[in-house]
Amino acid sequence: MYEAVLPDFFRLLVPLPGNPLQAINAYLVKGPERNLLIDTGMNRPECLTALQDSLAGLGADLNRTDFFLTHLHADHSGLIGTLAPPTAKVYCSQTDAAGIGEMVGESLWDKLAFYAGRNGFPTTDLAVALHKHPGRKFGPQGDFNFTLVQDGDLVSCGNYIFRCIATPGHTGGHMCLYEPRKKLLVSGDHLLQDITPNIAAWSDGHDPLHEYIASLNKVAGLEIELVLPGHRRVFSGPRERIRELKEHHRARNAEVLRILTGGPQSAYQVATRMTWDLTYEKWEQFPMPQKWFAFSEAGAHLNYLAMEGLISREMVDGEYLFSLPKRKTRRQRG
């Protein structure tokens, strides 16, 4: 399924069966000599068939197509090894290209397991969570010769000259494409209209939420009339959505602080007490992948608050616990 959004610019809807995201928006830009495909869908037959059908319907020859990955997540990068011929350029940020290499080589999963274990994720569930992780099940396979891009680089196709906009937060190397003449932003998962991008912490001391808020402010300074996101609806007027996303994270930070009034807790314990926009009545009913992503988001908020000095973190019996700073007594204050 595909639709034209601008001349020679098409949105390709790639289904994600059984996934709460429902589908991914890939984008094809057609040029007189070469095309550009932005993101791919997961490495699974349903995604491949849908994408190939759309490309065939548009008369897009993969041998005349280059690729741009907004970020490393499997729903955006999974099919790159299947689709990209050896002659194609595959644009990606250096950070996320390295992450894809770690994902393929398995070292990423060892790092995630170590981080999760010492932040309270039950060891009895870790193996199941990693086995069911969509990035591990449906991620890209093979060796990739990436063309690395950084903030400010230009990528051209037909009548479109895109400027790469580094927007870390959702991933460390997330990259948007901005066409200033057409006031167009291909936003990947940095800006979504109908759902909130997952901001996840996967290493101690990493502050992806701070990076994400800075990236929101950066994009707010661009002149944008149309946003082409990685999921759900195309939309216009992004500044109001940016305001909503910043308010969402402010409210989530406040919720985490309220939860910590109950005493020191791990990231996993905090996640079980946060409110989630899911249909399940209690944490125990969450599918394992949803527990995993909720845990990682709780960690992002905790790391942010710790970096801001609003909470403290200490290692207790091999596990990090977060707590509100102890109030000084009158005598301690002197």
- Does residue 333 carry a pLDDT above 60? no
Confidence of residue 327 (pLDDT cuts 50, 70, 90): low
- Does residue 191 carry a pLDDT above 80? yes
Span 248-283, pLDDT tens digits: 999 999 999 999 999 999 999 999 999 998 788 899
| 47-61, 195-209, 275-289: the lowest-pLDDT one | 275-289
The alpha-helical segments, DSSP class H, found in the chain are 45-57, 74-77, 80-83, 94-105, 107-117, 123-132, 134-138, 208-220, 238-259, 267-273, 288-307, 330-333
Structural domains in the chain plus CATH codes: 2-238 (3.60.15.10), 247-325 (1.10.10.10)
- Does residue 1 carry a pLDDT above 50? yes
What are 237's two structure tokens?
């007027």
Whole-number pLDDT of residue 334:
41
Whole-number pLDDT of residue 331:
40
pTM above 0.85, yes or no: yes
More confident residue, 103 or 11: 11
Confidence of residue 320 (pLDDT cuts 50, 70, 90): very high
